[in-house]
Every structure is written in structure tokens, then in C-alpha cells.
Chain A
Amino acid sequence: MRRGVLAGVVLLTALLLQAGVVNPLDLPVGHPDLLVLCVVALALVAGPTWGTVLGFTVGLAADVLPPADHALGRLAMAYALVGYAAGLLEDLEERSVVTTVVVVAVASGAVVLVFAGVGALLGDARVNATSVADSLIATILYDVILAPFVVPLVSGAARRAEPVTTY
């Protein structure tokens, strides 16, 4: 079950790096989101079922990990959807750098919008036009910059690891 172990290690590392290293950095407008990069990279190899399970798990962990302070389940929902959608592209024939970047950009935008959308429904004061716009711009931009490096790395490692089971 080596692919499962790899996925767990990758996602845990991404969680801790995001909170401990990436978020404290003083970057303009916002920060990249390592979790969406890893979820997309793993889902592109593992398919929609595993994509959504990995997305849900890492989203829930991100909801629970301190210092998060919002209703539990919001990030879980967002990453589960993105994991599913990215997993549907598992059988994409021509996968160039451009398509990877486009997928990451759409996924980053989707994560922000779903998270903000649920927040708006719950009446979260932190969700307003400027914060959503800033988060969208920053997350998409920084993730697109990191995508050509992170996604092939994680996808390659996942492909070489033993598959969990074949459905």
C-alpha cells in the first residue's frame, strides 16, 4: 500500500509546511496553497475516488489544525470537490505543463470560491469582496508559479509507488 503511505506523508508535510513556513512569509497580497497543489497532483494519478478521499482528509486536517478558526468541514468540502474534479482528469491523454498549470489554476480558484461561498452562507464576517478577490489572485498566482515544480514531483513519485488497489 505504498501509494497510500506516500500520499499521507506528502499531505502531512504540506500541512505543516503551509502553517509553519509558507504562511508566516511576508509575501504581497497573499500566500500559495500547497495543499491544493498536492491534492491535484495525487488525484491526477489516483483517480476520482481517491482524489476525493484525499481531498476530504487533508481538508479536514486543515480545518482542525491550529490556528484555524472557522467552522469545521469548510475546507474538507472544498478540497473533496477539487480532488474529485482533478481525479476525473486521470485519463487525460496529453498532459503537458500547460494543462497542468491550467488545472492547478482552476483548482485553486475553485477551492477559494467554495470555501468563501460556504462562509458567506454561514455569515462569516471574514468573507467580503476584497478578501475573496485578494485570496483568489494570490492563491491562483502563487500556485501557478509553483505548479510546474511541485505537481510533476508529487505525481511522479505517486506513479512510481505501488497502487493501493485497482478498481
Chain B
Amino acid sequence: MRDSGRARVVLAVLLLTAFTLITLDYRSGSGGPLRRVANAVFGPIENAVGDVARPIGSFFSSLGHLSSYKSDNAKLRKEVAALRSQLRLTDADRARLDAEEKLLHLDQIAQFRIVAAHVSAVGGSLDFESTATIDVGSRDGIAPDMTVIDGDGLVGKTLSVGPTTTTVLLANDVQFSAGARLESSQLIGHVDGGGRGPMTFTLLDSQGTVKVGTRLVTFGDIGQRPFVPEVPIGRITRVVPTPGALTRTAEVAPYVGFDSLDVVGVVVSAPRTIKRDSLLPPSPSPTPSTPPPSSPPSTPPATPGKSPSPSPSRSG
């Protein structure tokens, strides 16, 4: 009996402490001082664990995907053969494009300065959050509110930064939101992560038309923080009917596979003007496969429908 009496007192004290911490931290938002200390302390340990665990984890996850790897492999071999035959044609086109670009002084498509990083841990907090830790930090020039991308498109933005690690808010988190623009147009809106549900795009124009299959890129922010412009986000898969609303809503299939993030890049600086739609791959014609309806697909390494041109935003 003595033990449970003492236990109750201890429990009450600890609950009060937790409540106080919640109240204090609630106001400071992401990136408070305690989190920065935690980043500094736990970051290197997590990086080490990530380095060890990554091959083990990818071995186990690859076991589940073996059959799809085989079919992907066969598909890729066919694509490579087809592309090789196309190369002869595009060489001539490329030469003409080079000459035209020189004329118009378009010698830089986009030059992002990127710091490459590995994802060393993924946040769950009982699967409510969609965040990740990457193994670069303030020593590498990272600051909060920077865009994080990978070869496929927009991954998220940086939240809090320690000396060697950074917390990234992924684009499929419920609290994520970014300005977005429909390709080949000036219609803008914002993209919001849907957590376990689909990502949504809200067009800030009730008269604009949103078509299934249209691709979205980021619409940059002032000072390009947190988002630089022209980063591919995803593709519209379904327009949600919202009669009488001031905005239009659509579901988006993101290009990035959030379940299989490994190498990402943090954009530390971007040029002031980037040619519109320049980072999207040339539009495939016609669209080879109907996109899946609601949930964002976890894209296999070679996304069907993307042309072979290397994305200029991939770091070395």
C-alpha cells in the first residue's frame, strides 16, 4: 500500500511536469531551444544508427519487393534499348536547341546550390507526424525553412537545425503547405499534405479550370524561403467537386516516394529568376498509364512516364 501511495504522488508530480512542458513548448513552435539541444546531442547517434541500419532495412524491404524488382528490371532493359535508338534522333535536336539558347542567353536553366544528405531517421510519434532527420546541419550551411528536394521533386522543408542534423517536415504531413502553380499557366494555389490521405491542391481561383494530369510546380516564396520556385510537386489525379466554393480542390499524386526516401538535397540558394516549367521533364505524349486515384503512390525507382532527361537539380 505504501508503494501505491508513493507511486500516485510520483505520477501526479510527473503529470504536472509534463503538462507544464506542454504549455511552455506549445508557444515556441518548431525549433525551440530544447529541440536544438536535442538535435546537437542525439543527431550524431541517429546518424550512426542510420548508417548501420540503412543496408539492413533496405535488405528487408527489398525482400518484399523482389517480384516487382524483376518486372521493373525487365521493363528498364526494354526502355534502355528504346532510348538508345532515340539518341540518334535527339542529338540533332539538341544541337539546334544549343544554338537557340545561346541566341536567347538562356544558358542556365536553373542552378540550385544543393547540399546532399542521407535520411538517417524517420519520425513517427505513433504515426501522426511525417518528418525525417537528415545528416547535414548548420555546419553544412543548413538553416530552418529551406526547401528539401530529391531527384523526383519536392520532399519538404527544414524545420529545426542542429550542428550535424536537421529535422525535415515531409510534404505528405498534415501540417505541410506550399505555394503551387499549374504547369504552363499562371494559376496559383497551395498544396497541402494529407497525412495518410491524398495530398490536395487548392486553386485560388473559382473560375480556373483544373484538369486531371496537369503537373504542379512550387510557386516560390519571398526571398525563396521556405520554397524556391519551379520544383516539381506532383500531378493532379482527381478534381474534387466543390460547388459554390471560392476555390477549386483537387487531389495530387506526388512525384516523390515518401516511403523510400534515401538521398535528398537541401537547396541552400537559388538564382533569382528561373525559367518557368524548366525543371519539369518534357511532357510525355500520350500519358502512358492512368494515374492511381487517391493515395500517393510509393514510386518505384524508375517512374513510368518520366522522360529520360536528367533532372538539373540532382546534386553530384
Contact = CB atoms under 8 A, between A and B. Distances in A.
Contacts of B132: 67
Given A53-B14, A65-B42, A72-B21, 4 more contacts: A66-B39, A81-B11, A131-B127, A131-B196
27 contacts: A16-B49, A18-B124, A20-B121, A24-B119, A31-B124, A47-B7, A48-B8, A48-B11, A52-B11, A60-B18, A65-B38, A65-B42, A67-B167, A68-B131, A69-B30, A69-B129, A72-B24, A73-B17, A73-B25, A77-B22, A80-B15, A112-B126, A115-B125, A115-B128, A124-B128, A126-B128, A128-B195
Contacts of B124: 18-19, 22-23, 30-31
Nearest to A12: B45
Interface stretch (A2-10, A92-100, A132-140, A156-164): A132-140
Contact of B64 (A26, A60, A125): A26
Interface of A: 16-26, 30-31, 33, 47-49, 51-53, 56, 59-60, 62-77, 80-81, 84, 87-88, 111-112, 115-116, 118-119, 122, 124-128, 130-131, 134-135, 138-139, 167
Q: Which of B34, B56, B57 has the most CB of A within 10 A?
A: B57
B25 A20 contact: no
B42 A131 contact: no
A31 B120 CA distance: 17
Nearest to B43: A66
B197 interface: yes
Interface stretch (B94-102, B158-166, B218-226, B227-235): B158-166
B38 A66 contact: yes
A111 B35 contact: no
B2 interface: yes
Nearest to B37: A64
Interface of B: 2-4, 6-8, 10-11, 14-15, 17-22, 24-26, 30, 32, 34-35, 38-39, 42-43, 45-46, 49-50, 53, 56-57, 60-61, 64, 119-129, 131-133, 159-160, 162, 165, 167-169, 173-175, 195-197, 259-260, 298
A42 to B, nearest CB: 14
Task: Give the top 5 A-B pairs by smallest Cβ distance, nearest first.
Answer: A73-B21, A48-B7, A20-B49, A72-B25, A73-B22
Contacts of B196: 130-131, 134
A18 B128 CA distance: 14
Contacts of B18: 56, 59-60, 73-74, 76-77, 80
Contacts of A60: 18, 21
Contacts of B298: 26
A126 to B, nearest CB: 4
A116 B30 CA distance: 18
Given A72-B22, A118-B22, A134-B127, A24 B121 contact: yes
Given A25-B61, A66-B162, A126-B195, A19 B10 contact: no
A67 B32 CA distance: 13
A16 B175 CA distance: 25
Contact of B7 (A18, A21, A30, A87): A87
B11 A80 contact: yes
Contacts of B131: 67-69
Name which of A19, A48, A125 has the most chain B CB atoms within 10 A of its CB: A19
A159 to B, nearest CB: 17
Contact of A24 (B4, B6, B57, B126): B57
A131 B64 CA distance: 25
Nearest to A21: B53
Nearest to A75: B125
Q: Which among B11, B56, B60, B61 has the greatest number of chain A C-beta atoms within 10 A? A: B11
Nearest to B24: A72
Contacts of B43: 66
A108 to B, nearest CB: 9
Given A26-B260, A118-B22, A69 B122 contact: no
Nearest to B124: A23
Contacts of B195: 126, 128, 130-131
